[in-house]
A = this chain, B = another copy of it.
Amino acid sequence: VSLVGAGPGDPDLLTVRAHDRLRAATLVLHDGLVPEAVVDVARSAERVSVARRAGPKTLSQDVVIDLMVDAAWRGERVVRLKGGDPFVFGRGGEEMQGLSAAGVPFEVVPGLSSALAAPALAGIPVTHRGAASGFVVLSGHAPEAYAPLLGTITPRSVTVVVLMGIGERRAIARCLLEAGWPGETPAAIVVNASRPRQRVWVGRVNTLGINDDFGARDDPGVIVVGDVVACASAADILRAGMGEEQIWQPTTIQGH
């Protein structure tokens, strides 16, 4: 079994190894969020979606592990394909432990996490001399997890990246403001990075909650907060691969 990271969504952003594993697979068990274009790289494999976005059709973790284990013992070449990197908020660790407990040989093929790829595709460096000497990556799903951490970080000392946080962007902004981050700290939201409906919003912490038009709530989105956002001028964002129509409010940030 290969635990494979699918990257942010464009099949060109698969690793060469991930591409090879998909081509050679006989069974692909993929998350619902992985785009068809990526899943279909595995032309000759049976392709099964095992986790829908949210809702009653999601299979439990145990069922997914059982599917992998059974298929492996049947002699299938199994790829477990997860969005981004399998070990970044992907429960890849639990699946690895399940395979391990069942004695199934496996490998991990890391993928591009959108925590880094989404800002990069918008021309935003997560570290930058004088702006951020490190970064923190959190999930927006659970305020009880991110709130205490954001409360302890010296404002603007590092870049904060929040995955799956679009729905919680107001709570995240409030949390940062309460922790002493200035309202004018630059912030960006990258939606559908590397995918057809890719868009980026650029603003500030105190306007993070204002814009309501982020497309479908289920679209993958990455929030980036910190002075690094101001490193990317509107022109940089355009050059880095975004179309002009994909940028909201780029003029609110002073470029250099």
Chain A positions near chain B (C-beta within 8 angstroms): 5, 7, 10-17, 19-20, 85-89, 91-94, 96-97, 99-100, 105-108, 110-113, 116-117, 119-121, 123-129, 131, 133-139, 142, 145-146, 148-149, 152-154, 157-158, 228, 231-233, 235-236, 239-241, 256
Contact = CB atoms under 8 A, between A and B. Distances in A.
Contact of A129 (B94, B113, B133): B94
Given A100-B236, A112-B110, A120-B86, A149 B129 contact: no
Given A136-B136, A145-B133, A152-B153, A125 B92 contact: yes
Nearest to A124: B87
A97 B233 CA distance: 9
A16 B20 contact: no
Copy number in this complex?
Answer: 2
A158 B149 contact: yes
Most chain B beta-carbon neighbours within 10 Å: one of A99, A120, A138: A120
A193 to B, nearest CB: 9
B137 A100 contact: no
B100 A110 contact: no
B148 A157 contact: yes
A100 B233 CA distance: 9
Contacts of A152: 152-154
Contacts of A129: 91, 93-94
